[in-house]
């Protein structure tokens, strides 16, 4: 679905695909031959099938991510912390189970944030630094396809991690229930939906990161820019509600208009926060969920198209 | 060599840490609106950690008290911190529970605690304990039986506990609003499945009906004679009431100080059997 979506995006962005690689050898890319002729099974010529040569690029992005030792360490620490959650939950006086869900979901959010920021910021920048882009883009692949593949790789990795961490969370909550019975029933569906929607949030953040990466020559703009967007996106709804109240009446009109404009421009991450519904088993709003998913698809599409557009016009030495 | 040194140091080092004087401070927490804006979806975790911090702080003071060291608690700061936690996660039960435990009995801030609990009721709509706490605070600390009855009625409706229903009816009686109590008990009786529970509601309702009959007769008596009766038997003697109703709990009605109608049963089965 992700691949189809991004392929569609690429077509919306108006890029033509001149060449298709049927098999893409990672080794050739990493060693940076920069020559399509040295890549075995390099075949050519289809105009409307970006998906076929996007696959190997996505696979390379995923493999690089999986080989990252910092992420191995992060996962190790995360699993250890998950094991501690049932013990830490006893700090709550009246809601042991709710605390275990809070800790699990907060942990998932935190890890996905690190992944989105690091992967989004480093993927394109690292390729440029190590001159992999020279070899990859030396092949008959459009830059838009390259960006799309990067995005799909990151999104797929975030979703996979969310699924894995979600499973660990379910296991942790289950252990808590066994250790401290009797506890009220858990709304597992809400927990699953909260994790899925959370992963959408971090995919959107990853898309922002990719946009900054496509724009910047250094690691700093993507890294700190993404963190700034994350903070602003989390605060935007609160600030909007604050200025929409009595406080807004005391503000100068141009500032108020500027802040309201910012509210509509910045991503609204509060919509993706379904933790309360997951922790306390509160009912989820179907239309609200549908709006959030639509918002995610449209906003992320715009960001990826923007990243493709910028990267296609960027001068790479 | 290094390992030996480590073992030589670790024991006195641990002993030093254990016995060092600790500065017990709760510290400062920024306004909830700032934390909400900055923390995003981690605010639930921050709320819980804030509550745990207050709990540990209070616990450490109790420990010190056991060691005959009295450190006056920063009650105001504690309450403010709990209020911040509530604003960060109004669904969290812990701050309400802790506030009820720590700020009513010892500090006498039942009214402030009730405000916090009422805020929590807007979110924890399924939780009967919050209106139960409010009702208790109203009745026990503030002697406001009217509000005690209203919140106990709320707790009974949420939970369906017969005890809450009985308490609500008692508070209605204490507040002198028997009619509301009768309607409430009638509704609860109709909704009850268990025969024993139905019987309890019927008893309580019958008692309130009897009290209501006596109160109305007293009003009539006062209107006719421009004074209160000295005894309930005077109501029958004057012809205001045909007979004194029976107490379904087995007691005998009498006129207490302040014109209150009481029963020797105290509206309990134990009281009636005496």
Identify the residue with better confidence: A70 or B7. Answer: B7
pLDDT at res. B152: 92
CB count, 10 Å around CB of A162?
24
- Quote the CA–CA distance of B202 and B161 in Å, as a whole number: 15
What the block records as the tokens of A258 is 């500027």
What the block records as the tokens of A247 is 């406080």
Q: How far apart are the first and last CA of chain B?
A: 81
At B68, the pLDDT band (50, 70, 90 cuts) reads: low
Domain range spanning residue A33? 2-312
- Quote the CA–CA distance of B115 and A215 in Å, as a whole number: 52
DSSP structure class, residue B125: T
- Quote the CA–CA distance of A288 and A268 in Å, as a whole number: 13
Q: ipTM, 2 decimals?
A: 0.73
How many Cα neighbours within 13 Å face the side chain of A193? 24
Nearest to A229 by CA among A134, A300, A175: A300
With contact defined as beta carbons under 8 Å apart, do A236 and A263 qualify?
yes
Identify the residue with better confidence: A166 or A139. Answer: A166
Q: What digits encode the pLDDT tens for the residues A73-90?
A: 888 888 888 989 998 888
- Quote the CA–CA distance of A308 and A295 in Å, as a whole number: 20
pLDDT higher than 60, residue A185: yes
Nearest to A197 by CA among A297, A119, A266: A297
Is B40 close to A99, i.e. CB distance below 8 A? no
Is A93 close to B94, i.e. CB distance below 8 A? yes
Is A103 close to B45, i.e. CB distance below 8 A? yes
Q: What digits encode the pLDDT tens for the residues B240-249?
A: 999 999 888 8
Q: For residues B107-117, give the mean pLDDT.
A: 89
Q: What digits encode the pLDDT tens for the residues A268-313?
A: 999 999 999 999 999 999 999 999 999 999 999 999 999 999 988 8
- Quote the CA–CA distance of A204 and A218 in Å, as a whole number: 21
Q: Is A88 on the interface with B (CB under 8 A)?
A: no
- Quote the CA–CA distance of B72 and A229 in Å, as a whole number: 44
Option in B41, B42, B93 nearest A95 (CB): B93
Q: Please report whether residue A98 resides in a domain.
A: yes
With contact defined as beta carbons under 8 Å apart, do A162 and A199 qualify?
yes
Q: Please report whether residue A156 resides in a domain.
A: yes
Q: Please report whether residue A317 resides in a domain.
A: no
Q: What digits encode the pLDDT tens for the residues B197-248?
A: 777 778 888 888 999 899 999 989 999 998 989 889 999 999 999 999 988 8
For residue B262, give the 3-state DSSP assignment. strand
At A39, the pLDDT band (50, 70, 90 cuts) reads: very low
Q: What digits encode the pLDDT tens for the residues A121-164?
A: 887 887 777 777 777 777 777 888 889 888 999 999 999 999 99
Option in A94, A102, A233 nearest B97 (CB): A94
Quote the minimal CA–CA distance from B77 to chain A in Å: 20
> Domain tally for chain A?
1
Nearest to A151 by CA among A315, A303, A312, A310: A303
Residue A26: CB partners within 8 Å, gap ≥ 6? A56, A59, A60, A63
For chain B, the domains span 19-107
pTM to 2 decimal places: 0.74
CB count, 10 Å around CB of B112?
16
């Amino acid at each position: 679905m992700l691949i189809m979506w991004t392929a569609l995006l690429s077509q919306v962005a108006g890029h033509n695909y001149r060449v298709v690689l049927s098999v893409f050898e990672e080794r050739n890319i990493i060693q940076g031959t920069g020559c399509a002729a040295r890549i075995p099974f390099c075949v050519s010529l289809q105009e409307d099938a970006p998906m076929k040569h996007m696959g190997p690029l996505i696979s390379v992005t995923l493999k690089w991510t999986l080989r990252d030792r910092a992420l191995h360490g992060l996962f190790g620490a995360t699993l250890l912390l998950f094991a501690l959650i049932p013990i830490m939950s006893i700090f709550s006086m009246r809601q042991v189970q709710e605390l275990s869900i809070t800790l699990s979901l907060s942990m998932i959010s935190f890890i996905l944030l690190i992944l989105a920021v690091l992967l989004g910021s480093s993927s394109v920048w690292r390729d440029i630094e190590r001159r992999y882009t020279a070899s990859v883009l030396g092949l008959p692949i459009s830059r838009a396809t390259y960006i799309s593949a990067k995005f799909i790789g990151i999104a797929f990795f975030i979703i996979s991690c969310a699924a894995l961490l979600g499973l660990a969370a379910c296991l942790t909550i289950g252990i808590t229930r066994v250790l401290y019975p009797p506890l009220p029933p858990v709304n597992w569906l809400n927990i699953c939906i909260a994790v899925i929607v959370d992963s959408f949030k971090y995919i959107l953040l990853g898309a922002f990161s990719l946009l900054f990466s496509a724009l910047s020559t250094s690691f700093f703009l993507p890294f700190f820019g993404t963190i700034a967007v994350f903070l602003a996106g989390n605060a935007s709804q609160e600030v909007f509600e604050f200025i929409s109240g009595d406080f807004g009446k005391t503000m100068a009109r141009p500032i108020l208009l500027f802040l309201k404009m910012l509210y509509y421009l910045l991503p609204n991450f509060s919509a993706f926060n379904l933790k309360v519904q997951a922790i306390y088993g509160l009912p989820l709003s179907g239309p609200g969920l549908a709006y959030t998913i639509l918002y995610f698809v449209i906003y992320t599409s715009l960001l990826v198209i923007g990243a493709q557009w910028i990267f296609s016009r960027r001068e790479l030495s | 060599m290094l390992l030996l040194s480590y073992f030589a140091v670790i024991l006195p080092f641990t002993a030093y840490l254990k016995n060092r004087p600790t500065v017990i401070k709760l510290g400062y927490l920024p306004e909830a609106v700032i934390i909400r804006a900055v923390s995003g979806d981690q605010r639930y975790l921050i709320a819980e950690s804030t509550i745990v911090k207050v709990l540990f702080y209070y616990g450490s003071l109790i420990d010190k008290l056991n060691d005959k060291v009295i450190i006056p608690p920063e009650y105001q700061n504690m309450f403010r911190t709990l209020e911040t936690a509530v604003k960060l996660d109004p669904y969290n039960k812990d701050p309400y529970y802790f506030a009820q435990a720590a700020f009513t009995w010892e500090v006498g801030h039942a009214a402030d605690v009730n405000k916090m609990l009422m805020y929590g009721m807007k979110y924890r709509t399924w939780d009967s304990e919050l209106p139960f706490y409010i009702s208790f605070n109203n009745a026990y600390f503030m002697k406001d039986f009217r509000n005690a009855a209203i919140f106990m009625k709320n707790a009974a409706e949420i939970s369906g506990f017969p005890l809450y229903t009985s308490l609500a009816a008692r508070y209605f009686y204490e507040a002198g609003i028997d009619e509301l109590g009768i309607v409430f008990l009638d509704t609860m009786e109709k909704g009850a499945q268990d025969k024993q529970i139905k019987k309890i509601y019927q008893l309580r309702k019958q008692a309130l009906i009897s009290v209501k009959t006596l109160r109305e007769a007293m009003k009539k008596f006062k209107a006719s004679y421009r004074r209160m009766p000295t005894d309930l038997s005077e109501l029958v003697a004057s012809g205001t009431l045909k007979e004194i109703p029976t107490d379904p709990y087995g007691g005998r009605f009498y006129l207490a100080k302040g014109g209150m109608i009481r029963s020797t049963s105290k509206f309990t089965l134990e009281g009636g059997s005496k």
